[in-house]
Chain A
Amino acid sequence: MIGYIVRRVLNYLVLTAAATMLAYVLASETLNPALKFESKHPRPSQASIDIYLRGLGQDPRTPVVVRALHWFGDIFRGNLGLGVDNQPVTHELWTRMGVSLELLLVGSVIGVALGIALGVWGAVRQYSFSDQATGVLSYIIFATPTFVMGILAMIGATYLNRWVGHTLISFAGEYSPDVNGGWWPHFTDRLSHLSLPTLVLILGSAASFSRYQRSTMLDVLGADFIRTARAKGHTRRAALIKHGVRVALIPMSTFLAYSFGLLVTGATFLEIVFGWHGMGELALNSILNNDINNVAGSTLYVSVLILCSSLLSEVLYAALDPRARR
């Protein structure tokens, strides 16, 4: 078991490293950090451009693979290079990561839990009104991209605020710049800003997880071991929760690993739409600014997140399925 986990961790670490370097190489091939000097009048001398590029670690005369390896080696010294504005990438990452993680973790944890609960509930009460209503609703949410849902929620909140007569839900940015008073007004202000994007992320993840959980739970409901548990004298409720849900969750752990990338992407879109200064904004801006180091840094963030979710799903799988522990 320990050996297996160690092997998986090593495999994931190698994959993460390779994926980040791949992103670095791709970004170096497609982006040109010297482009910003093209429009300058007078154009700086080639020598000063070279010095600038060398400072970024992107001297075009060094082969791109060497540059990627060099950049990657520096990670272990806590150095992700400089952005085009000569600010360290790590500095940007630290300030923005908290913003993104807040939304992603709160939204996905509540969303996944809610989705699982709704899925189990729907399967147990198959064809009931509540089952069919959540079914239709999840269909519609599933067909709505998160960023569209986010903006529709903003439009709805605007009408709601207008109807109530004062700002009940604020949604522009992460917090209002003009809040006075102690920590309480600040706290409620943040909560108000957090509410709308979090709600959208919860709805989005709950919709896909509830559909999947419902079908795995339906597979389990007719299984022999549930009947055995009932025959042993368990109540229906106890049999379903102790034996049914546990088995129905096993395929969900794999689904979690596959869908986590989509969750990260969805959360990133929401951040941008709601004007948060998070990782999403950094990633898109760095592409537009030809900022290779920041692109690679953002990729590192995403791939480490996905690495964590894959590990979590492996651990969950082992915890739920005793056969996997052998």
Chain B
Amino acid sequence: MSMDPGLVVEAAEVTDVPLASANSRARLVWLRLRAMKRFWIGLTVLVLMVLWAFVGPAFSQWSITHIDVYNLDMGPTSRHWFGTNELGQDLYAQVMHGLQKSLVIGLVAGILCTALSAVIGAVTGYIGGITDRVVTWFIDLFLVLPSFFLLVICYPVFHGSWIILTFFLALTGWMVMAQTVRMQTRALREREFVKAARYMGFGTWQVVRRHVIPNVISLLIIDASLNVGAMILSETALSFFGFGVQAPDVSLGTLLDGGWTSATTRPWLFVFPAGALIVLLLSINLIGDALRDALDPTSGANRD
């Protein structure tokens, strides 16, 4: 008995459906993204900044520890493009290294933070009941205290280690997004496909991973892109006031701190790190906004 060829084709089509729809959605988002000028501007600038931070030092004449004793406290010259500080260290090399650290901290903390809010928001929203109420109460509690104050109080814990600092940054930034994910999950919980999965006996974690998270993924992508900028901002502020990255590590925040006290007499010490920070945040914000518009055209949060 030969198999009906039509049936085989149909079966193949059925298994293809979810795959095809996921692909076409990604394609749609990409098409929208591709048409946005600010996405390309942001991406180009960000890629250039990353290259500058990670590849630039290899081509620089000065290393971060090199001290040019003949050129202390010099403004920008052809030898030292961004000038030197009072120790004779080359600011150009320092800004590249600072950018490196700030980028790494921002990326890791930003993505970690979104992952935390996704897991906490989805699991509590899905389980509901007492866990949900307790976690919601804790989220409200953390919203009463600005994260900067919490981080400053915890400063003796991560004193000197930028890796622990990165984790703390993520730990203090997940609350708002977790609430949004939680609300979305509560709506999803009542949808047929989630109910079906639940009645089929899938556990909480499996339902969350396979049905809830994929449905809020666009929110999470947007949040991650915004978080990277926010985390870089927190890191620079903390380091600027002496509670973040500590010497001998260099970040944009420590450079701003070093340039601050003499900002009015030796402005180059402050202006160059500040400029690098602003351009970096600007490019990340541009990409984040473009992503938001491409993934969620109805949000209208940033229409042009």
**Interface of A toward B, CB cutoff 8 Å:** 15-16, 18-19, 22-23, 26-27, 30-31, 127, 135, 139-140, 142-145, 147-148, 151-152, 154-155, 158, 211-212, 215, 218-219, 258, 261-262, 264-265, 268-269, 272-273, 283-284, 287-288, 295, 298-299, 302-303, 306-307
Q: Give min CB distance, A142 to chain B, whole Å.
A: 7
Given A135-B304, A261-B146, decide whether A152 and B271 contact each other with a Cβ distance below 8 A. yes
Residues B145 and A303 in contact, CB atoms below 8 Å apart? yes
What is the size, in residues, of chain B's interface with A at 8 Å between Cβ atoms? 45
- What number of A-B contacts does a CB cutoff of 8 Å give? 120
Collect the chain B residues with CB atoms within 8 Å of residue A215's CB: 300-303
Collect the chain A residues with CB atoms within 8 Å of residue B154's CB: 26, 30
Residues A30 and B150 in contact, CB atoms below 8 Å apart? no
Residues A155 and B271 in contact, CB atoms below 8 Å apart? yes
Q: How far is the CA of A148 from the CA of B256 in the complex (A)?
A: 8
Q: Does B85 belong to the interface (CB within 8 Å)?
A: no
Q: How far is the CA of A187 from the CA of B184 in the complex (A)?
A: 53
Residues B264 and A155 in contact, CB atoms below 8 Å apart? yes
Residues B278 and A265 in contact, CB atoms below 8 Å apart? no
Closest A residue, CB atoms, query B156: A30
Residues A19 and B144 in contact, CB atoms below 8 Å apart? yes
Besides the known contacts A27-B153, A215-B302, A295-B153, 14 further A-B residue pairs in the complex with CB atoms under 8 A apart: A19-B145, A31-B156, A139-B285, A143-B281, A145-B233, A145-B236, A145-B277, A151-B263, A258-B143, A261-B143, A261-B147, A265-B146, A265-B149, A283-B149
Given A151-B260, A218-B300, decide whether A23 and B237 contact each other with a Cβ distance below 8 A. no
Residues A219 and B300 in contact, CB atoms below 8 Å apart? yes
Given A16-B144, A261-B146, A265-B146, decide whether A23 and B153 contact each other with a Cβ distance below 8 A. yes
Q: Which one of B144, B240, B300 lies within 8 Å of A147 (CB-CB)? A: B240
* Secondary structure call for the A interface: helix
Collect the chain A residues with CB atoms within 8 Å of residue B237's CB: 145, 147, 265, 269
30 A-B pairs (CB sep. < 8 Å) = A15-B140, A15-B144, A19-B142, A22-B141, A27-B153, A30-B153, A31-B156, A127-B304, A139-B286, A143-B285, A144-B281, A148-B256, A148-B278, A151-B270, A152-B270, A152-B274, A155-B263, A158-B264, A215-B303, A258-B176, A261-B143, A261-B147, A273-B260, A283-B149, A287-B152, A295-B153, A298-B149, A299-B145, A302-B149, A306-B143
Given A27-B153, A140-B282, decide whether A306 and B263 contact each other with a Cβ distance below 8 A. no
Rank and list the top 3 A-B pairs by shortest CB-CB distance, nearest first. A143-B281, A261-B146, A19-B144
Residues A155 and B153 in contact, CB atoms below 8 Å apart? no
Residues B152 and A284 in contact, CB atoms below 8 Å apart? yes
Q: How far is the CA of A287 from the CA of B153 in the complex (A)?
A: 7
Q: How far is the CA of A144 from the CA of B141 in the complex (A)?
A: 28
Q: Give min CB distance, A311 to chain B, whole Å.
A: 12
Q: How far is the CA of A284 from the CA of B281 in the complex (A)?
A: 26
Collect the chain B residues with CB atoms within 8 Å of residue A269's CB: 237, 241
Residues B144 and A306 in contact, CB atoms below 8 Å apart? yes
Residues A284 and B141 in contact, CB atoms below 8 Å apart? no
Q: Give min CB distance, B114 to chain A, whole Å.
A: 17
* Secondary structure call for the B interface: helix
Q: Does B87 belong to the interface (CB within 8 Å)?
A: no
Closest A residue, CB atoms, query B299: A215
Collect the chain A residues with CB atoms within 8 Å of residue B260's CB: 151, 273
Q: Give min CB distance, A16 to chain B, whole Å.
A: 6
Collect the chain A residues with CB atoms within 8 Å of residue B142's CB: 19
Residues A143 and B282 in contact, CB atoms below 8 Å apart? yes
Closest A residue, CB atoms, query B148: A265
Q: Give min CB distance, A298 to chain B, whole Å.
A: 8
Q: Give min CB distance, B7 to chain A, whole Å.
A: 49
Q: How far is the CA of A53 from the CA of B45 in the complex (A)?
A: 54
With a 10 A CB-CB cut-off, give which of B141, B155, B229, B264 has the most chain A CB atoms.
B264
Collect the chain B residues with CB atoms within 8 Å of residue A139's CB: 282, 285-286
Given A19-B145, A148-B274, decide whether A284 and B300 contact each other with a Cβ distance below 8 A. no
Q: Does B92 belong to the interface (CB within 8 Å)?
A: no
Collect the chain A residues with CB atoms within 8 Å of residue B243's CB: 284, 287
Q: Does B214 belong to the interface (CB within 8 Å)?
A: no
Residues B240 and A26 in contact, CB atoms below 8 Å apart? no
Collect the chain B residues with CB atoms within 8 Å of residue A31's CB: 156
Q: Give min CB distance, B284 to chain A, whole Å.
A: 8
Q: Does B157 belong to the interface (CB within 8 Å)?
A: yes
Q: Which one of B141, B144, B241, B263 lies within 8 Å of A154 (CB-CB)? A: B263
Q: Does B267 belong to the interface (CB within 8 Å)?
A: yes
Collect the chain A residues with CB atoms within 8 Å of residue B281's CB: 143-144
Q: Give min CB distance, A181 to chain B, whole Å.
A: 27
Closest A residue, CB atoms, query B263: A151
Q: How far is the CA of A273 from the CA of B237 in the complex (A)?
A: 12
Q: Annotate B155-177 by CB proximity to A: 1 below 8 A, 0 otherwise.
A: 11100000000000000000010
Residues B141 and A15 in contact, CB atoms below 8 Å apart? yes
Which residues of B from 47 to 93 have beta carbons under 8 Å from A? Answer: none
Q: Give min CB distance, B30 to chain A, whole Å.
A: 24
Q: Which one of B144, B242, B277 lies within 8 Å of A307 (CB-CB)? A: B144
